[in-house]
Amino acid sequence: MVYFIYKALDIARLGGVLPDPKRLNLPDDVKLGLAKRDYFYLGCCENPEHLLPIKEYIVTFVDRDTAEGFTLLGVSRVPKDPTDPTSELRDLTPEELEKQEKARKLLLKLRLRQRIYGGVEDLEDIVAFLSKRIDLLERLFLTTLYYILKDEPLPDSLGKSYLSIAEAYVKQVEEGRVKTRVDVEDPKKLHDKVMKKVTEITKLVETELLGKK
């Protein structure tokens, strides 16, 4: 079981509240608690591959068995009791801070969200395409981070998964089943753009995460 905590990064934009968990379309094994302290929400998940980013709310993973918390976006304190987000907050341990720094460097190095969502204008359409599939790209991204932070070997299938997602999107564009937000006169040009970007991502995944040359 992996517990995770949500914290809103832009409270003003959200009107000071987090979204209703009932509207988040979570998999069955993801349970999101309603208790909150300083906008923390507690959740738990049996399968780490089902850890979903709900926009920018995922901040801290907490392992119930070890009570370790490692932040992805720079939170310096976590609840002392990982099962109770209303418990007193504690500072991160040196080991947790080290994991946080490791995650931060990984994020800076890979920049997967920026590369996929912001690197090519046409790729914005992938967001809409994948939103119908529980945002699979983001799920893969968090799964990757999960394995890295837990110091567990990464499945060789991760890089292939990124590639297959983009290929599925391009195929639907070429077949006219997906309308792009920009006028695409030549689907092959879009295909080449997407595949070039995916090749970059795949190489990053292989070299930085899988240690391949």
Q: What is the pLDDT of residues 148-199, one digit of tens each?
A: 444 555 555 554 555 555 556 556 656 666 555 444 455 555 556 555 655 6
Of 122, 130, 107, 120, nearest to 59 by C-alpha is: 107
Q: Up-side HSE of residue 150: CA atoms within 13 Å toward CB? A: 17
The model's pLDDT over 10-35, given as tens digits with 9 standing for 90+, comes to 322 333 344 444 554 555 555 544 33
Cα distance between residue 113 and residue 33, in whole Å: 27
* 38 residue type, one letter: D
Bridge partners for 123 per DSSP: none
- Looking at residue 95, what is its pLDDT? 74
Q: 47 or 121, which is more confident?
A: 47
Mean of pLDDT values over 62-80: 43
Q: In terms of DSSP H, where are the helices of 117-186?
A: 124-131, 136-149, 157-174
